[in-house]
Every structure is written in structure tokens, then in C-alpha cells.
């Protein structure tokens, strides 16, 4: 689909297309391949003398397929999230290749963090002077984006928590009439759970990527870049701990929602139980006097009908108050 070359000019990443002059090729620090065609892959492979991994290779689960060194070229892959603002967040594998202090990224998605990182420039504390610096810029931007995503997801969970345990309607009768939408609550909890699991997967792969890429390869990373690696790993671990905390909260809210559903179902069953207690004894009385026996004294009695009605009312009232006194209802 596209291949973009980046050079560093006055501390700023400058993008160039395929039409860039040949003398600029040596200054390139970042080759960004977005859904590359076969010709674009061959161009990069011939210029750098490497084999660009295919999409299927990028998605391999084994660490040996995602993290390896070949002819002093570091091949790594990580899962990066996209469509995080929707109800169906996705994770896509992106390859990060370090070759001769140049960075090559191969991706089949366009995460927001890449668009942000390509427009950023270095500052006094974080200088970009090689592909290593570009790699750390990308990783830092991805982690920053993940932090924003997790913060928003946390607010979503807080909203669900508020609806479950602190409803805005304080009157009990009105609250019972305005029942919460448990189906919507469970759907929202499920969406956040999926988001947290994908974020955890992304952080796990980023942790492996940074640790592996920063190990003894030649030429070695500068002290500034290694310091950024250390800070980045701490940020990843902090976000992982935060996800674990939020995941426990997700499970708690899910159990609480299921518990409320069970309570509501129990209330409905209780209504039927009360109805059974009230109407079952009168039904017994009515059944007795509904029998088709020839000799039943009450059938010829003038007060037989009022007597039967009184018996049915009494059979309904007495068990109800008896169970109520025993607190069985």
C-alpha cells in the first residue's frame, strides 16, 4: 500500500516517498512499510540485505519466531492495539527490525500511535539520532496511548460500578420501577474485559521486544537510549500491574451484576411463592366443594355458598399471616 522513508533533520523526523533521491537513502533512519507490495519488500531487502518477514510470520506465537537475531540484524514483533475507541478493539502484529542502526517497521494496520510518533520531534531529554531512538519513540508513544486507553476504560468501569452500587434514584419504590439494564452492564463489562486482555497482550510483547532489542547487539545502544529502555520497561511493568488491578475489578463487577440478576430473579420467584401460599388453600376448598358426589350436605344448605366463600378467604388469610409471622415470606 505504501512505504515511507524518514530522515532526521534538526531533530525532526522528515518523511520521504519512494521518489526520494538516491543520495538520501544513506541518511534514512526509519523505513515504514504499511501493507507493502512485493516490489516494495524487494526494494528494502536489496538495500539492507535482509528478509522482510511475511504477515503470517509476524503473527507466530512462538518467541523464536517473533524474537531472533540473524546476521547481526534484530527481528522483533509486537501486538499493537487499533480501533480502541470502538466496541471491538483489535490487535495487530507489527514487526520492528533493527539493521545498521536503522529501523524497519512492517505493519498491516495503521495505529494511532504511529501517526502521532511520525509527527513528533526530539527534545532536550530525548534525542533521536538513529533507528534505535525512533524505535524507543514509537514504543513510548504506544505505551502512552495504552495508558490513555486504560484510563478511559477505568472511567467506564467506574460508571458501571456507580450504577450497580450507588444508583442515582434513592427512593426504593422508584428504584425498583426503574430497573437497571443488566444486559447493557454485562456488555460494557465484557468490552472492557476484552480491551484489558488485549492491552495486557500488547504490553507483554512490548516488554519482550524492548528487552530483547536492547541486549548486546552491535553497534551498541547509547547511554541515553539505554536509560530510555530502563524507563520504558518500568512504565510497562506499572501498566501491567494496573491492568491486573482493573481485571480483578472487572471480575468483581461481573459477579456483582450476576448477583443482582439472581436477586431480581429471586424476587420474582418470591412473588409466585406468595401467590401460591395465598391461592393454594382456597383452591383446595373449592376443589372439595366442586366434587360431583350425590350426597354433600352443604349443597342443599341455604348458607352453603357464603360458607364456602368464607372458608376460602380464611384458608388464604390464615397461612399468609402465619408465614409472615414466621418470617418465611
**Sequence ranges of the domains in the chain:** 2-264, 265-325
Mean pLDDT (10-residue bins), the chain, 329 residues: 78 70 70 86 82 76 72 88 84 88 88 79 58 87 92 89 72 58 86 91 91 71 80 93 92 88 81 79 79 72 81 82 75
Residue 71, Ramachandran bin (φ over 0: left; ψ between -120 and 50: alpha; else beta): left
What's the pLDDT at 239?
A: 94
Beta strands 2-9 and 30-34: pairing type?
antiparallel
Q: How far apart are CA 217 and CA 73, in angstroms?
A: 8
For cell 411463592, name the residue.
273
- The per-residue pLDDT for 146 is 92
Torsion angles phi and psi, residue 316, rounded to 5: -85, -40
Domain 265-325 belongs in CATH node 1.20.58: yes
Q: Under CATH, what is the fold of the domain 2-264?
A: Beta Polymerase; domain 2 (3.30.460)
Other C-beta atoms closer than 10 Å to the C-beta of 219 total 10
pLDDT of residue 178: 60
Rounded distance between C-alpha atoms, residue 222 and residue 8, angstroms: 17
Confidence at residue 61, expressed as pLDDT on a 0 to 100 scale: 63
Amino acid at each position: 500500500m505504501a512505504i515511507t522513508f524518514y530522515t532526521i533533520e534538526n531533530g525532526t523526523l522528515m518523511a520521504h516517498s519512494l521518489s526520494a533521491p538516491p543520495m538520501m537513502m544513506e541518511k534514512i533512519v526509519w523505513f515504514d512499510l504499511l501493507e507493502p507490495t512485493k516490489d516494495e519488500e524487494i526494494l528494502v531487502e536489496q538495500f539492507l540485505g535482509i528478509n522482510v518477514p511475511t504477515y503470517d510470520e509476524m503473527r507466530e506465537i512462538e518467541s523464536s519466531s517473533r524474537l531472533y537475531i540473524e546476521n547481526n540484524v534484530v527481528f522483533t514483533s509486537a501486538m499493537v492495539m487499533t480501533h480502541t475507541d470502538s466496541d471491538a478493539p483489535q490487535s495487530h502484529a507489527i514487526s520492528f527490525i533493527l539493521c545498521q542502526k536503522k529501523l524497519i517497521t512492517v505493519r498491516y494496520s495503521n495505529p494511532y500511535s504511529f501517526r502521532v510518533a511520525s509527527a513528533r520531534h526530539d527534545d532536550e531529554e530525548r534525542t533521536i539520532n538513529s533507528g534505535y531512538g525512533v524505535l524507543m519513540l514509537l514504543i513510548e508513544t504506544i505505551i502512552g496511548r495504552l495508558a490513555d486507553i486504560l484510563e478511559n476504560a477505568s472511567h467506564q468501569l467506574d460508571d458501571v460500578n456507580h450504577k450497580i452500587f450507588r444508583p442515582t434514584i434513592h427512593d426504593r419504590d422508584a428504584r425498583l420501577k426503574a430497573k437497571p439494564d443488566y444486559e447493557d452492564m454485562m456488555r460494557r463489562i465484557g468490552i472492557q474485559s476484552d480491551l484489558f486482555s488485549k492491552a495486557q497482550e500488547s504490553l507483554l510483547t512490548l516488554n519482550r521486544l524492548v528487552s530483547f532489542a536492547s541486549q548486546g547487539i552491535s553497534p551498541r545502544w547509547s547511554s541515553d537510549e539505554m536509560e530510555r529502555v530502563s524507563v520504558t520497561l518500568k512504565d510497562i511493568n506499572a501498566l501491567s500491574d494496573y491492568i491486573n488491578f482493573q481485571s480483578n475489578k472487572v471480575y468483581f463487577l461481573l459477579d456483582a451484576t450476576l448477583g443482582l440478576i439472581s436477586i431480581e430473579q429471586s424476587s420474582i420467584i418470591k412473588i409466585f411463592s406468595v401467590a401460591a401460599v395465598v391461592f393454594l388453600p382456597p383452591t383446595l376448598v373449592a376443589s372439595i366443594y366442586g366434587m360431583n358426589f350425590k350426597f354433600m350436605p352443604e349443597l342443599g344448605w341455604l348458607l352453603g355458598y357464603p360458607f364456602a366463600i368464607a372458608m376460602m378467604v380464611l384458608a388464604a388469610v390464615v397461612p399468609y399471616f402465619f408465614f409472615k409471622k414466621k418470617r418465611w415470606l
